[in-house]
Each structure stands twice: as structure tokens, then as C-alpha cells.
């Protein structure tokens, strides 16, 4: 409900997406991922399979997310830039 998914984005099988998310252009989300509510994913970001992202997370463009994100904040390549 209320999600924006821009062109070129690829979402694989069994991905669960929360509400009020925004995915930039050419985002790739691999299988069995779980995206929480109010998640913003910048353009050209790759999210590995079996990864969970909690609510209220922003991921900078061009990031590669290989492990789950468990705390709200702003992230680049699984490194927290700013905690919320």
C-alpha cells in the first residue's frame, strides 16, 4: 500500500514488501528478502537473498546489502551512516 517502484527494478520470488516504501531505478532485490515499512532504497542498489530490512531504513544509491539490517537508520553498504 502506497509503494513507489521505479522503472528497471527487479524483484525476485517470495519477496515481502511493507507499506510506504520507495525503490529507485534499477534496484535488484533477490529472492526471499523481507522489506519493512517506510524503507527507501536508492537507485542501482543490490539486496542479496534471504536478507531482512527493518522499518524506517534509508539505503543510499549504489549500495550492496549482503546481510540483514536490524536497526532503523541511513545505511550505505551495510554500514550505518546515521542512526534514527
Annotated catalytic, 44? no
Report the distance separating Cα 43 and Cα 25, nearest Å. 5
Q: How far apart are the first and last CA of the chain?
A: 23
Catalytic option among 13, 70, 79, 83 = 13
**Which phi-psi region, left, alpha or beta, contains residue 66 (left: φ > 0; alpha: ψ -120 to 50)?**
alpha
Q: Which residues are catalytic?
A: 13
Amino acid at each position: 500500500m502506497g509503494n513507489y517502484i521505479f522503472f528497471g527494478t527487479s524483484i525476485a520470488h517470495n519477496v515481502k514488501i511493507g507499506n510506504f516504501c520507495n525503490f529507485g531505478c534499477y534496484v535488484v532485490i533477490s529472492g526471499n528478502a523481507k522489506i519493512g515499512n517506510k524503507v527507501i532504497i536508492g537507485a542501482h542498489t543490490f539486496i542479496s537473498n534471504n536478507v531482512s530490512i527493518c522499518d524506517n531504513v534509508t539505503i543510499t544509491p549504489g549500495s550492496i546489502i549482503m546481510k540483514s539490517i536490524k536497526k532503523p537508520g541511513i545505511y550505505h553498504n551495510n554500514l550505518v551512516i546515521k542512526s534514527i
